[in-house]
Amino acid sequence: MSRLFRKYHRLLGIIISLPLLLTIITGISYSIFDELLGQGEIGHLMLEIHTMEIIHLEIIYPLLNGLGLLGLLVTGLSMTNFFKKPLSKS
């Protein structure tokens, strides 16, 4: 079972890395341009890219990011053996 979770974890990690990287970069860029530099136009563009409003995916993009992270969390925790019963000492 752990082998199967490793396979899915690796695949999910590859798939979800690009959207998450884009979310991170545009979120940081928005903060820098809008809040620190006062460049509202560029900040607004970064926010549109951040939420994928620019290609009309603003409803489903955060959901897909969240589901991808949830999948990585479940598969990652299952590989740690954190939830397995300890062996009894008899």
> What local confidence, expressed as pLDDT, does residue 24 receive?
92
C-alpha distances in Å from residue 81, one per residue of 48, 72, 85, 86: 40, 15, 9, 10
Res. 79 pLDDT band, cuts 50 70 90 = confident
Global confidence as pTM: 0.72
Contact (CB, 8 A) for 68 and 15: yes
Please, is 59 exposed, middle or buried when counting C-beta atoms within 10 Å of its C-beta (0-12, 13-18, 19+)?
Answer: exposed
